[in-house]
């Protein structure tokens, strides 16, 4: 059995602080058009794709902070992206900073959505694993203040029936955590979409930072293989406002193999013809969760070793 989709990742080069959303959306539409010319059904855009990666700065003026957030999706400046996708008949995943009025107060989330080929929002995910700090770390040349600007997502890791398959979402740092993929895989995920912004000095410790590209690849390839799912990952990359952001956007098969990878750190489209049924093979054999997983035993093993982990 085969269920092919033509999948693309639209890596985006740097976005300057002064770039308007109109300018950014124009670049995204150019990438969508290229995707169409390659026959793509679906395009994955990066995390926080409409603005520069503002959590690198310590900002205290709430109005300035909120200027990086979207109150409506689509809004007046982002609507042209939805219109273009609908005209081209292509669906997409995109990340943005979401300002929501919920439970009687204003809330800030790092969010991603799936939009179908008719321009309708199919699903929303809010980033759960927020890296970095709420306050600047003394002595660090660069900061990562996501914990200051966002609260952890409150929507879990759902999956959606779309693209003739089962699709899930995560955002950037989520891709390093095994539970991200496993929670979606337990719901049958066949494709996990991820947008990211990864500076090449994200720990501030060279011994770790020198492996930034490797750890990114390792996380995606292990996540795909161990969960029998395709993974499509799109970077915001290049030298953005003083920060070097890795590229390496890639599409990984359920075998763990990279089937497409970006070679630049600018706007670049990568694509691959992906058989969603490839994961089915793994799900029926080595990763048949129902037959081989032993969750009722995991707790016993942890207890016997005297670990402090509660399961």
Extended strands (E) in the chain: 4-11, 42-44, 91-102, 105-115, 121-126, 159-162, 165-171, 191-197, 230-236, 238-240, 243-245, 250-252, 258-261, 268-275
The answer to the question of residue 176 lying near ligand CDV (CB under 6 A) is: yes
Residues 6+ apart with CB under 8 A from 5: 41, 42, 163, 164, 165, 191, 273, 274, 276
Written as six digits, the tokens of 192 are 């996990």
Q: Min. distance of Cβ 310 from ligand CDV in angstroms?
A: 26
| 66-91 b/e (C-beta count within 10 Å ≥ 16 → b) | bebbbeebbeebbebbbebbbebebb
The answer to the question of residue 221 lying near ligand CDV (CB under 6 A) is: no
CB nearer to ligand CDV: give 149 or 160: 149
Q: Among candidates 195, 268, 283, which has minimal Cα distance to 231?
A: 195
Total residues in contact with ligand CDV, by rule CB under 6 A:
11
Residues 6+ apart with CB under 8 A from 227: 181, 182, 184, 185, 189, 192, 287
Q: Min. distance of Cβ 139 from ligand CDV in angstroms?
A: 17
The answer to the question of residue 126 lying near ligand CDV (CB under 6 A) is: no
CB nearer to ligand CDV: give 41 or 47: 47
The answer to the question of residue 198 lying near ligand CDV (CB under 6 A) is: yes
Q: Min. distance of Cβ 197 from ligand CDV in angstroms?
A: 4
Q: Among candidates 296, 206, 235, which has minimal Cα distance to 13?
A: 235
3-state secondary structure at position 111? strand
Q: Min. distance of Cβ 273 from ligand CDV in angstroms?
A: 28
Candidate list 111, 143, 173, 221; residue touching ligand CDV; CB under 6 A? 173
Q: How far apart are alpha carbons 95 and 43 in whole angstroms? A: 12
CB nearer to ligand CDV: give 3 or 133: 133
Written as six digits, the tokens of 241 are 């406002």
In the shown chain, the binding pattern of residues 177 to 196 toward ligand CDV, with x for contact by CB under 6 A and - for none, equals -------------------x
Q: How far apart are alpha carbons 292 and 307 in whole angstroms? A: 24
Q: Min. distance of Cβ 211 from ligand CDV in angstroms?
A: 12
Look at strands 42-44 and 4-11 and give their pairing. parallel
Q: Catalytic annotation on 172?
A: yes
Q: How far apart are alpha carbons 290 and 299 in whole angstroms? A: 18
The answer to the question of residue 21 lying near ligand CDV (CB under 6 A) is: no
Candidate list 172, 191, 194, 274; residue touching ligand CDV; CB under 6 A? 172
The answer to the question of residue 144 lying near ligand CDV (CB under 6 A) is: yes
In the shown chain, the binding pattern of residues 24 to 53 toward ligand CDV, with x for contact by CB under 6 A and - for none, equals -----------------------x------
Residue 230's φ and ψ, nearest 5 degrees, are -75, 145
The answer to the question of residue 56 lying near ligand CDV (CB under 6 A) is: no
Candidate list 202, 229, 237, 248; residue touching ligand CDV; CB under 6 A? 202
Q: Catalytic annotation on 127?
A: yes
Which residues of this protein are in contact with ligand CDV, per CB under 6 A?
47, 131-132, 144, 172-173, 176, 196-198, 202
């Amino acid at each position: 059995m085969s269920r092919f989709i033509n999948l693309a990742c639209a890596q985006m080069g740097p976005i300057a602080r002064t770039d308007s959303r109109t300018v950014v959306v124009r670049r995204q539409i150019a990438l969508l058009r290229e995707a169409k010319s390659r026959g793509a059904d679906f395009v994955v855009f990066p995390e926080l794709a409409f603005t520069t990666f503002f959590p690198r700065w310590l900002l205290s003026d709430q109005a300035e902070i909120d200027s990086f957030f979207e109150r409506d999706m689509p809004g007046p400046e982002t609507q042209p992206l939805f219109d273009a996708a609908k005209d081209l008949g292509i669906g997409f995943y995109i990340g943005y900073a979401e300002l929501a009025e919920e439970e009687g107060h204003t809330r800030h989330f790092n969010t991603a959505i799936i939009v179908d080929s008719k321009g309708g929002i199919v699903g929303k995910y809010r980033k759960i694993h927020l890296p970095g700090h709420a306050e600047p770390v003394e002595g660090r040349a660069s900061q990562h203040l996501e914990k200051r600007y966002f609260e952890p997502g409150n929507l879990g890791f759902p999956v959606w029936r779309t693209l003739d398959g089962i699709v899930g979402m995560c955002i950037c740092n989520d891709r390093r955590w095994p539970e991200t993929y496993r929670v979606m895989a337990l719901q049958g995920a066949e494709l996990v979409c991820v947008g990211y912004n990864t500076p090449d000095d994200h720990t501030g410790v060279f011994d770790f930072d020198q492996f930034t590209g490797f750890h990114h690849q390792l996380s995606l390839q292990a996540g795909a293989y161990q969960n029998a799912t395709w993974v499509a990952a799109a970077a915001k990359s290049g030298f953005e406002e003083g920060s070097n952001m890795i590229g390496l956007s890639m599409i990984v098969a359920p075998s763990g193999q990279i089937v497409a990878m970006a070679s630049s750190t600018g706007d670049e489209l990568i694509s691959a013809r992906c058989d969603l049924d490839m994961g089915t093979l793994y799900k029926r054999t080595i990763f048949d969760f129902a037959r081989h997983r032993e969750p009722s035993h995991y707790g016993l093993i942890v207890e016997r070793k005297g670990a402090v982990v509660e399961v």
